[in-house]
A = this chain, B = another copy of it.
Amino acid sequence: MKKLINNPEFVVEEMLEGVVKAHPKYVRKLEGFNVLVRTNSPVQGKVALVSGGGSGHEPSHGGFVGKGMLDGAVAGAVFTSPTPDQVFEAVKAVNGGAGVLLVVKNYTGDIMNFEMAAEMAAMEDIQVASVVVNDDVAVENSTWTTGRRGIAGTVFVHKIAGAAAEAGKSLEEVKAVAEKVIANVRSMGMSLTPCTVPAAGKPSFELAENEMEMGLGIHGEPGTFRDVIKPADEIVEHLVDKILADIDYNGSEVAVMINGLGGTPLMELYIMNRKVSSMLEEKGIKVYKTLVGNYMTSLEMAGGSVSILKLDDELKELLDATADTPAFVQL
């Protein structure tokens, strides 16, 4: 295992210490919990957003805590759901009286634990609502999911619902716009290599030197099929075709995210974007905005995902709003 770490048991704690040391302007850690919240939390009168999940997907989710996006991020062990009490602590710390929206990715453990935290919060009279992101068109049902999995499209939910909350919308309104994003975003990824959970010390599966897996999950859950490595354009064609088959993007404007899984050079993500943008152009789908980079990773996995979000005027305005977080800044 080739990693720049110390004790594999403490990677999450040590990472969070490093995050707080790097970004004290943006985030602080809740004493005794692997939870990051905005330095100035709670923001009085603003709907607060809390997200999170297993660690190993950095910059998700702590990197998106800041103005215009999240208020709190809960970090489970690597690829492991955070516990309900962690989520509950985050909710309490960020609640500014206008309620808290939980942004959950569709994995059985996350759903259960965020739901339990919501119940704990309700008992303390904190208004909580939840949305579940399920953007991955690769598989229906999987190792850790019923229905589609939640992957990189989640970052669009953080950005857009976060902007709505910052603009003073109510919990009901912020939830509605988050659900609009979820209804209109689809993603699919693929991988060239597995990754190694530090505490495990070896990859959870293997891919041959000439092999790739299409639709692989962000925790290494099986995808749709394995194949010999194809040229980037053929890979992208498959991903984009699957996405476009899932909802009707005809004639619409879209936001595109080309997401790296952690071990992918930016060069390759841009080569993917070249093909994505030319495919969309051919189909008369207009690209309004493109994000390229590591947003929702799987440790050092090599590979990438494509997300396409269908926009309307409301979503465009919120997508364009200012954001200021460690991993996403927009003027």
Residues in chain A within 8 A of chain B (CB atoms)? 2-7, 11, 14-19, 21-23, 55-56, 58-59, 63, 192-193, 209, 212, 229, 231-233, 235, 256, 258, 262-274, 277-278, 287, 290-294, 297, 299-300, 302-304, 322, 324, 326-327, 329-331
Contact = CB atoms under 8 A, between A and B. Distances in A.
A266 B290 contact: no
Identify the interface centre among A271, A290, A292, A331: most chain B CB within 10 Å of its CB. Answer: A271
Question: 7 shortest A-B CB distances, which residue pairs?
Answer: A18-B270, A18-B274, A58-B266, A4-B268, A21-B277, A18-B273, A22-B290
A26 to B, nearest CB: 11
Nearest to A301: B265
Nearest to A21: B277
A100 to B, nearest CB: 25
A21 B175 CA distance: 32
B22 A264 contact: no
Given A22-B273, A274-B17, A265 B264 contact: no
6 contacts: A4-B303, A7-B231, A21-B290, A58-B265, A59-B266, A262-B263
A162 to B, nearest CB: 15
B192 A4 contact: yes
Contacts of A299: 265, 267
Nearest to A229: B2
A271 to B, nearest CB: 5
Contact of A3 (B258, B268, B273): B268
Contacts of A192: 2-4
A271 B5 contact: yes
B56 A265 contact: yes
A240 to B, nearest CB: 14
A56 B192 CA distance: 19
Contact of A18 (B58, B231, B271, B302): B271
A196 B59 CA distance: 26
Given A4-B235, A193-B2, A232-B4, A56 B267 contact: yes
B294 A18 contact: no
Contacts of A7: 231
A262 B299 CA distance: 12
A16 B256 CA distance: 17
Contact of A6 (B56, B231, B327): B231
Given A4-B235, A21-B277, A192-B2, A271 B303 contact: no
A166 to B, nearest CB: 14
